[in-house]
Amino acid sequence: MRLRTIILFVLPVAILGLYPRVAEQGYLTYTLIVILAYSIIGFYYNVLLGNVGIPFLGPMVPYAVGGYTAGYLSLNGYNPLIGIVVGSFFAAGSGFAFSLLSNRVRGLYMALYSLVITLFFHQLIVRSDIPAIFHIFVGAIGQNNIPDITLGGFRWRLGDGVAYYYLGILLFVGSAIFLKILLDSRFGVAFKAVRDAEVYAASLGIGIFRVKVIAFLVSSFFIGLAGGFLTIFYQAIGPDILDTSNMLLFFSMVVFGGLGTFFGPVVGAFILVPLNNYLTPYGAWRLFAWGLAILFVVLVAPEGAVGKAERLLRGRSIRGLIDSARAWTRTASGTSTS
């Protein structure tokens, strides 16, 4: 297990950490920063979709809440790092609001409910006729010229954003470790119990509503953390962040990598984020590409890329054990005969 952890997590992170020292920075650095942030989103969106089994289609709401909060505080003179942290807690509050009806709204109705709330929030923040709302969200224009992080007189945007890159690695590693601890704890067991047999889990004394609230709170906190981080990095955020195409990207990352797998969202982010950047100029074709990606996964590998790989490796190891057992049986039979 230790060797597998080193190969699958520690070694890639070490390579990412060494990248700025051995390669030229630029567009690739920008892409890797986005991949790291989207991997965090995928980690915790997968908690809702794959680990608890809640068909939630509103991950952009906590992202937007975290981003807008970080941007608003930064524009009003607060340290952007403080804005990111405060925005994460506000995002967790939005997740709590979603969770209030999670015990009554299930399945397709939960998907529709979360999608409708996302569309409503989008329409709300573009309003320019409500001064209080416009003051925070700045209508359809969005927040722009958000101050950069400055520590010791050094602006992080200088130097091709390498400081943001290392902060992204730090947030990615921290969120992954926290998620691993969470899933290995009794809460992770409760998540899977609610997903696989909610009624039976309730009969065992597991608080279904409490489990869902915790899942929404934790997931929304980290999604908002990624949203605040990217908002400060971009130095802007607008209502287009709530577009359905972004939700499809996050959904595709989780499904493509593998629902309920730990590394699946990371694999999905590393494959689909560069593809999304390439397809962005093509408009509607990007949505078509996500539809094809989801259809391909459903037909060819319903368990996702990582799930498929794990099944193949498990099958090979099982076949190896069977072959070894057969060989040992033949050897034993030959020995007893002689």
Q: What are phi and psi of 205, to 5 degrees?
A: 100, 5
- Is the separation of the CB atoms in 223 and 59 below 8 Å? yes
Query: Does residue 155 sit in helix, strand or coil?
Result: strand
CA 292, 293, 295, 299 dihedral sign is positive
DSSP structure string for 23-41 = S--SHHHHHHHHHHHHHHH
- Is the separation of the CB atoms in 239 and 122 below 8 Å? yes
pTM across the whole model: 0.86
Number of Cβ within a 10 Å radius of residue 243: 15
Could you list the pLDDT tens digit for every one of the 338 residues in the chain?
Answer: 455 656 666 777 777 777 666 655 677 888 899 999 999 999 999 999 999 999 999 999 999 999 999 999 999 989 999 999 999 999 999 999 999 888 788 888 999 999 999 999 999 999 888 899 999 999 989 999 999 888 776 777 766 678 888 899 999 999 999 999 999 999 999 999 999 888 888 888 888 999 999 999 999 999 999 999 999 999 999 999 998 888 888 988 898 888 888 888 998 898 888 888 888 787 777 777 777 777 877 787 777 777 777 677 666 544 544 454 455 445 545 554 44
Task: Tell me, letter by letter, the H, E, C secondary structure of 280-302.
Answer: HHHCHHHHHHHHHHHHHHHHHCC
Tell me, what DSSP letter sits at residue 51? I
